[in-house]
Structure 1
Amino acid sequence: MARSRVQTGRYTAEIDDDFVVFLIGIRINKLWKIHKWIGPFLSMPRMLRELRLQPDKGLLGARIALGGRTFTVVQYWRSFDQLEAFAKNPNDPHLPAWKAFNKKVGASGDVGVYHETYRVGAGQHESIYSNMPVMGLAAAGRSVAVGKHSETARARIAGR
């Protein structure tokens, strides 16, 4: 199914086993210092492209969001171990990009970065998508029509 096609009606996400939600973002603190933020800004799409070409590394899905000067990537990973392995592997694009960021930007305050990591136990999540394309956790797992036993958030989270 084309992910941009709207699914009319109400859907929820199903995903097997535990998974990790990883938020990573960049904030452009000094817009005029493009030479400081363009490298880190462009490195994330390259990383995501590589991860999509190598699904065995553990990335299940990702979505980029913009909020003011902050770009956030919401990522869904099969496990924390796979996320950490990608981050620490010198042959993957993250570690070289992180080293370049620290060398070029460091503690200057020109560009900010952050990340948050959440381990989610099997069945410890719920979601609803009403008249939306398949996105988020539904794209990382499966998009499933809401049924009579999954009408409410409480029912969806309790029913797993």
Structure 2
Amino acid sequence: MTSSVRSSRRTTTGAFQEAGLPVRAKLAAAWTSFMFLYLYVDYLHLYKPGSLDEILVGVVHEFETGPTFVGLALTLLAVPILMVVLSTTLPARTGRAANLVVAALYIPFSIYNATGEESWDYAYFYAFSIGLEVLLLAFVLRAAWTWPRTVRATAGRDLGGARV
């Protein structure tokens, strides 16, 4: 075996190199995942026996459907949708604050969604889906909280604090 063949094998058999993903991309991915999960939980709820019957008579959980309900539902879904784009476009300081505030507000709201369930037959479905939502929101909180800072150079001083 030639040395060039051996050296190419060595480079492909080692550990995978971790590519650093920017915080903005992590946040956008987490909000995208949250948004899809949030939407599909509501969609899959339609398969629960009796759900469509309640919707047809104008009730969802205990709330009457109508313009207010539909507007509120759209708003609650629009926020994570907008967080996908805001996480990538807002200035870092504003984006960090927005992610921290919105994720912190959505955690109790996600947990509240379980309170409307009266049947234990679907407890696993709701526990699993809400658990995933909360994990994604916790990831958003952690990523935003630990957002890396840049080191500012100060005029007339080096990083050690000695005057030049």
Which TM-score applies when normalising by structure 1? 0.30
Normalized per residue, the structure richer in helix is 2
More strand by share: 1
| Higher relative contact order, structure no. (Cα contacts within 8 Å, ≥ 6 residues apart) | 1
TM-score (norm 2): 0.30
